[in-house]
Amino acid sequence: MSASPADGTDPTGDRPATPDIHRPPSGSLAARQAELVAALVAGGPPPPGFAPAPLAAARAALLRKRAGEVARHWPLLAAGLAPHWPATFIEWAADRPSVGGLRDGWDLARALHARHALPALGAEELAVREAAYRYDGDAAPRRRRRPAVGRAGGAVAVQLAGRVRLLRTAR
């Protein structure tokens, strides 16, 4: 995934400025900062002139830091994937900009669930979260007001009056 023009980035970087109020002039500091961030967190092309190895090291360090943040929000998911966490997260996140540790982990857990690769601990954590919160994959999760059931990989969690219980563990 690369950054869209709406993000204010211009992947080519060296074209003349276009009269677009949403896009900073190509070659300006704003445009170059946007290109750099897109290259580091969104799979954008490396900006011209930067030494590749240090940039790659920075990109890897950012992903490791993100993996740590997601693991704090999703400790069972990370533990269930060990020793392949953080590699699993980093592979999934490499071209996805962060939407915060909670949502990053949620999106990853759903993606793993969809391809039957979610470990039991992660499935139980996901089921509990799905029972407690409404999350549409786009906006911040919101606490459910009505009773709800969350299911993932055989795990079943139920939420009643704000209290969540895991009814059945994952297989």
Partner 1 sequence: MTGPHGVGIGWRPEIAGFVAELPGLRFVEVIAESVPAAGPPPDALVELRQRGVTVVPHGVRLSLGGAEPVEPARVAHLAAVAELVAAPLVSEHIAFVRAGGLEAGHLLPLPRTREAVDVVCANVARAQADLPVPIALEPIAALFDWPDDELDEAAFLSEILARTDALLLLDIANVHANAVNRGTDPLALLDRLPLERVAYVHVAGGAEQGGFYHDTHTDPVPAPVLDLLTELCERHRPPAVLLERDGRYPPAPDLRAELDAVAAATGFPLVT
The contact set with partner 1 (CB under 8 A) reads 3, 6-9, 24, 28-38, 40-42, 48-51, 53-55, 57-58, 60-62, 65-66, 68-69, 97-98
Closer by beta carbon to partner 1, 26 or else 159: 26
Which phi and psi angles does 36 have, rounded to 5°?
A: -65, -45
CB 41 → partner 1: shortest distance, Å? 6
Closer by beta carbon to partner 1, 78 or else 131: 78
Q: How far is the C-alpha of 63 from the C-alpha of 88, rounded, in Å? A: 11
Biggest CA–CA distance in the chain, Å, is 61
CB 2 → partner 1: shortest distance, Å? 11
CB 40 → partner 1: shortest distance, Å? 6
The residue written with tokens 């400025």 in the block is: 17
Closer by beta carbon to partner 1, 32 or else 151: 32
Residue type, 81: L
Cβ–Cβ under 8 Å, residues 101 and 86: no
